[in-house]
Structure 1
Amino acid sequence: MPSDDPRAIYRERIYAGYVSARDRPLAPTNLDGLAPRLPYFRQMIRRHFPENTHAAILELGCGHGTLLYALQQAGYRNARGVDGSPEQVGAARRLGIQGVSEGNVMDVLRETSAASQDVVVAFDLIEHFTKVELVGLIDAVHRVLKPDGRWIIHVPNAEGPFGSRMRYGDYTHELAFTRQSLAQVLLSSGFSGVRCFEDRPVLHGLKSLVRAGWWTVIRAGLLFYIAVETGAFDHSAVFSQNLLAVARREM
């Protein structure tokens, strides 16, 4: 039966056309179209994923599978992903990316054995949940992670000067986060060692080198702005439109 929840109504409408109902298609038509995002994911894998390529990895909201493709290229053999958008899953299958299935992330977490996953990934996912829903998701992820397992999260950064572009860039977004608010909810829910990182330009050619140089200049200016307002330099400030967080389940 159709849901009476207004959120379910708009979510069903948007997710039904999540790839195509845009000014430009979300998913590429071939694997070459994944190239712009691969340097970022490859760096993320090197820095934040276990060296053991047999690690159990579950990506929630995996989209059309770009991260899974990068993981498979890096030799990981036990990575899978789930997404609630039929169009996203269909795009992954057309691209030939293995391990992508359609489903509700909460259902998948309920069906996953406790303490069975080395890594859970939520890349551009948790901002789609309300605060109440997110608490349930956090508890479900905590249950399936092994002790000292990692939850890798990518979210809109409300601390950045243009974070609202990400927060309001998708009609289904409910939340944005700062380092403080994300750590607050994770540490309150049994996670430990939450670390947050800027989405800085990843060096992989001349263009990215120029971008990285300009990012250093712009970041220094933003730090100066905050120092003028507050009287203190916060060198750990995150100014990119999104932020990456890595949280660990306690031992």
Structure 2
Amino acid sequence: MTAETADLTTSQRVVRQYYETTSSRESFTPAMMERQIVTLERLLGDWAPQEGEVVVDLGSGMGETCAAAVARGAASVTGINLSASENELARSIVPQATFVEADIVAGLAALPDASVDRITALNILEHLDKQVLAATLDQAMRVLKPGGSLIAMTPNAGSPFGAMTRYWDITHELAFTPSAFIQIGRLCGFSRFDFRECGPRPHGVVSAIRYVLWQAIRLGIKIRLMIELASTKGGIYTADMLTRLTK
């Protein structure tokens, strides 16, 4: 530990060195980025950034989501990320995007009111405590245009394997359920809430088989919940879930 990091919490130290501790476990290659873009587009579907949009990506990592937004013709793409090492790599990979070194609340606070069409927050909100989460959603509401949306991917506490994703990363603070997102979203002024599973998307024989098998597994989960609780508890059972909060 250096004098510079002596006053930081363990979580803050890991986040500031996220590239060294987490992201750089695999060497980056252009082929890896291409696969990431294809995977993101399959995962997000029509929730992905659209042509002509102003897009902000929170916790932008090595620039994967920003690269996908650029590839889809977004008018402007900005990544906000506290890790200097990840930002340096992202700038070299996606020179068409702007990468801001800041925590996400401060990064959003620097943006004008009603100036953004879409905010993406994939694998970042779970790193925040409840106070910072509320501040983030408050700022997101402010900067989004009317009808704009925040797209999040988070650990799903409603999954039988939700604890695995919740504790996969030492800096995770939270896991979410649809009910929890509606609760905090309403508090921060959002008006519409949509949820999707992060499950297999058919695009070939193997993925189609995985999709069919997953449908059988989720039916079993649903039956179990109906027996115990007389409720499907939102019907989102994958270890991660997608959420769209609309202004």
Match of 2:46, SS? helix
| Structure 1 contact 30–95 (Cα < 8 Å) conserved | no
Match of 1:177, SS? coil
Report the CA distance shift for 1:186/1:4 in structure 2 as closer, same or farther (over 3 A). farther
Q: Is 1:84 equivalent to 2:75 in the alignment?
A: no
Offset, 1:173? 0.9
Hey, what does 1:156 align to over in structure 2?
155
Hey, what does 2:196 align to over in structure 1?
197
Hey, what does 1:139 align to over in structure 2?
138
CA distances 1:104-143 after superposition (whole Å, capped 9, x unpaired): 2222111100111111111111111111121111111111
Q: Give the counterpart letter for 1:66 in structure 2.
A: E
- Aligned-CA RMSD value: 2.3
The TM-score normalised by the length of structure 1 is: 0.88
| Structure 1 contact 159–239 (Cα < 8 Å) conserved | yes
Offset, 1:35? 4.3
Q: Give the counterpart letter for 1:113 in structure 2.
A: P
| Structure 1 contact 39–204 (Cα < 8 Å) conserved | no
The equivalent position to 1:71 in structure 2, one of 69, 72, 76, is 69
CA distances 1:57-111 after superposition (whole Å, capped 9, x unpaired): 1111111111111122222231221111122213323434531422222221111
Q: Give the counterpart letter for 2:91 in structure 1.
A: R
Q: Is 1:61 equivalent to 2:49 in the alignment?
A: no
More deviation, 64-73/157-166: 64-73
CA distances 1:157-182 after superposition (whole Å, capped 9, x unpaired): 00001111111111111111111011
| Structure 2 contact 193–246 (Cα < 8 Å) conserved | yes
| Identity in percent | 27
Report the CA distance shift for 1:37/1:214 in structure 2 as closer, same or farther (over 3 A). farther
Hey, what does 1:43 align to over in structure 2?
42
Report the CA distance shift for 1:20/1:142 in structure 2 as closer, same or farther (over 3 A). same
Report the CA distance shift for 1:229/1:36 in structure 2 as closer, same or farther (over 3 A). farther
Q: State how far apart, in whole Å, the 1-side matches of 2:84 and 2:235 are.
A: 37
Hey, what does 1:246 align to over in structure 2?
244
Hey, what does 1:117 align to over in structure 2?
116
Offset, 1:44? 4.8
Offset, 1:4? 8.6
Report the CA distance shift for 1:35/1:206 in structure 2 as closer, same or farther (over 3 A). farther
| Structure 1 contact 153–245 (Cα < 8 Å) conserved | yes
Report the CA distance shift for 1:96/1:151 in structure 2 as closer, same or farther (over 3 A). closer
Offset, 1:220? 1.0
| Structure 1 contact 139–189 (Cα < 8 Å) conserved | yes
Match of 1:20, SS? helix
Q: State how far apart, in whole Å, the 2-side matches of 1:216 and 1:100 are.
A: 40
How many residue pairs get aligned? The number is: 244
The TM-score normalised by the length of structure 2 is: 0.89
Q: State how far apart, in whole Å, the 2-side matches of 1:68 and 1:29 are.
A: 16
Q: State how far apart, in whole Å, the 2-side matches of 1:84 and 1:211 are.
A: 36
- Structure 2: segments with no counterpart, 5+ residues: none
| Structure 2 contact 150–245 (Cα < 8 Å) conserved | yes
Q: State how far apart, in whole Å, the 2-side matches of 1:39 and 1:236 are.
A: 28
| Structure 2 contact 56–120 (Cα < 8 Å) conserved | yes
Hey, what does 1:95 align to over in structure 2?
93
| Structure 1 contact 152–245 (Cα < 8 Å) conserved | yes
| Structure 2 contact 79–97 (Cα < 8 Å) conserved | yes
| Structure 1 contact 123–154 (Cα < 8 Å) conserved | yes
| Structure 1 contact 68–97 (Cα < 8 Å) conserved | no
